[in-house]
Amino acid sequence: MRQIDETHDPQLASWVESANRPGCDFPLQNLPFAVFRRAGSREPLRCGVGIGEAILDLTALGPAAPREGAAAEALAACAAPALNALMALGPQAWQALRRGLSRLLRADSPHARALAAALVPQAQAEFALPARIGDYTDFYTSIHHATAVGRLFRPDQPLLPNYKWVPIAYHGRASSIGVSGQRVRRPHGQLMPRGADSPRLAPSERLDYELELGVLIGPGNALGEPIPIERAEEHVFGLCLLNDWSARDVQAWEYQPLGPFLAKNFATTVSPWVVTLEALAPYRAPWRRAEHDPAPLPYLDCAALRAAGAIEIALEVALETALMRERALAPERLAQADFRDSYWSIAQMVAHHTVNGCNLAPGDLLGTGTQSGPAPQQAGSLLELTAGGSRPLTLKSGEQRRFLADGDRVILRAWCERAGFARIGFGEAAGTVWPAA
């Protein structure tokens, strides 16, 4: 587990004034990474760090840049148009760079005047995927989501008997992952109408979002060599927001016996910002199971996991319809959940993924699966919020939604707050539904 150090001091302020404003997602204590360039330019993509409402261009530090050691090696990796090279270096390099950047950006930094030229306003930037994502695996870590969906698909057996033993997952499609701002075409697929004798090919009528986190892998493992749970987080660079768009009518017809396929592979949206595990150190919490639940098998259990394997991350999903945009109405929050309620942890995801010898690589993406809490208003999908479409939501605009309509914009947000530490955020992952081709 990452340790709390000088970079987490809540008294630290930055010479970047917008980073000191209450409620800011990117105060000095966060320093998330992204890949960007100035909007509309032909500049090369490069790595940057979020600070307030700006991006610190890591290729433009000039004389202030560290010249030797792990921090210098990590900074050199940031010249690439993706974070993979930095991710591959491991925690020692990441921590050294974080300390160095924190000191450069503090209010008392002697480099403030020189580094001002290395800032790019976020509003003037365009973002790319933070990494070259070679593989994508989506897990199913929320027992509340799994149970609620199970009641809709399998009323006689909502939670399958393996769920409390196995971190369930399926292999997703990396090629259709896009960054926030993605336009999502309503997908076609086979639909089986109720009472019909045969399916039909048509645009999905039950398009949904999923409120998730993405886990970006750092150093990989060799094929055939599992990652022990005690060392699993050494292989995790950081977290982002993730919306795994889902065609629920396609899913209902195709998901047995091998699981999701066309219902999931048409689009996944991630936030441009990656919040590192270093930044999340103050928000750790003990990982617990209900007393009557089985203890995990030994390869999924360790003392460090039980002491601090969970992370308290508030998650929120909001909806902006075309009518709301027309009337200049603010997006409406639909639900709020917390990653602390996840049944399986990040370390368990990594350990289970590799226990058979599967090799992970820098930049690989693991989805947490839809994050839902125990209360109805904590549901991370419309499938749950509307009970499979049987109870439509009435929005403040007067519109109703069972599932997503064309023109709907879905916005995911997340943040961490704890007494004695600064609030940090994840930015947002937003995507808009476009009509079927």
DSSP 8-state assignment for residue 188? E
Per the CB < 8 A criterion, the answer to whether 274 and 130 are in contact is yes
CATH class of this structure's domain 6-128: mainly beta
The catalytic residue positions are 145
The boundaries of every CATH 2.30.30.230 domain in the chain are 6-128
Q: Provide the CATH topology of domain 136-434.
A: Fumarylacetoacetate hydrolase; domain 2 (3.90.850)
pLDDT at position 235 is: 98
Tokens, residue 285: 């919490």
pLDDT in tens, 137-146: 999 999 999 9
d(CA 115, CA 97): 16
Burial class (CB in 10 A: 0-12, 13-18, 19+), 224: exposed
pLDDT in tens, 200-256: 999 999 999 999 999 999 999 999 999 999 999 999 999 999 999 999 999 999 988
Burial class (CB in 10 A: 0-12, 13-18, 19+), 161: exposed
pLDDT in tens, 270-329: 999 999 999 999 999 999 999 999 999 999 999 999 999 999 999 999 999 999 999 999
Phi, psi for residue 333 in degrees, rounded to 5: -70, 130
pLDDT in tens, 106-124: 999 999 999 999 999 999 9
Burial class (CB in 10 A: 0-12, 13-18, 19+), 232: buried
The boundaries of every CATH 3.90.850.10 domain in the chain are 136-434
At 385, the amino acid letter reads L
Tokens, residue 299: 């390869």
Helices vs strands, H then E, count in the chain: 10, 26
Tokens 């369930």 identify what position?
Answer: 168
Per the CB < 8 A criterion, the answer to whether 295 and 373 are in contact is no
Query: Is the pLDDT at 148 greater than 90, yes or no?
Result: yes
d(CA 102, CA 84): 22
pTM of the model as a whole? 0.97
Contacts of 270 by beta carbon, 8 Å cutoff, 6+ apart: 129, 130, 177, 178, 179, 180, 214, 240, 241, 242, 243, 365, 429
